[in-house]
Amino acid sequence: MFFNTTLTCVHVPTEEKNEVQKDDFYEDLERIYMKAPKHYIKIVMGDFNAKVDKELGLAPNVPKYNLREETNNNGWKMIDFAITKDMVISSTLFQRKRIHKETWRSPDEATSNQIDHVRIDSRRATDILYVKSCRVADYNYDHYMVKIKYRPRISTIGKVIAQRNINYNVENLKERTNAKEYRNKVEELLEILPNTEDQHVEATWEDIKQVICKAAEQILGQRSRMVRNGWHDEECKEMFEEQNKARLKMLQRKMRSNTEAYKEARREARKVCSKKKKYYE
| CA 91 – CA 131 distance, rounded (Å) | 6
Domain identity same for 179 and 76: no
* pTM (global) more than 0.85: no
Domain identity same for 18 and 103: yes
Its domain, for residue 181, covers 170-219
Domain identity same for 26 and 82: yes
Domain identity same for 16 and 61: yes
Give the chain's radius of gyration (CA, Å): 28
Domain identity same for 20 and 109: yes
Give domain status of residue 258, yes or no.
Answer: yes
Give domain status of residue 157, yes or no.
Answer: no
Give domain status of residue 146, yes or no.
Answer: yes
Q: What is the CATH number of the domain that holds 133?
A: 3.60.10.10
Domain identity same for 90 and 18: yes
Domain identity same for 9 and 70: yes
| CA 268 – CA 123 distance, rounded (Å) | 48
Q: Provide the residue-wise pLDDT of the chain in tens; the chain has 281 residues.
A: 567 889 999 999 988 899 999 999 999 999 999 998 888 899 999 999 888 887 666 777 787 777 767 888 998 898 899 888 889 988 888 888 888 888 888 877 778 888 889 999 988 888 989 888 887 776 677 888 888 998 887 766 555 555 677 888 888 888 888 889 988 988 888 888 877 677 788 888 888 888 888 888 888 888 776 556 667 788 888 888 888 888 888 888 878 888 889 889 888 888 888 888 777 66
Give domain status of residue 226, yes or no.
Answer: no
Give domain status of residue 163, yes or no.
Answer: no
Domain identity same for 62 and 111: yes
Domain identity same for 33 and 64: yes
Domain identity same for 12 and 58: yes
Give domain status of residue 224, yes or no.
Answer: no
Range 105-143 burial, b when 16+ CB lie within 10 A, else e? eeeeeeebbbbbbbbbbeebbebbeebbbeeeebeeeee
Query: Packing angle between helix 234-252 and helix 256-280, nearest 10 degrees?
Result: 160
Give domain status of residue 164, yes or no.
Answer: no
Domain identity same for 120 and 75: yes
Domain identity same for 89 and 138: yes
pLDDT at 43: 93
Q: What one-character-per-residue DSSP string does 169-215 give?
A: -GGGGGSHHHHHHHHHHHHHHHHTSPP-TTS-HHHHHHHHHHHHHHH
Number of domains in the chain: 3
Domain boundary among 102, 119, 150: 150
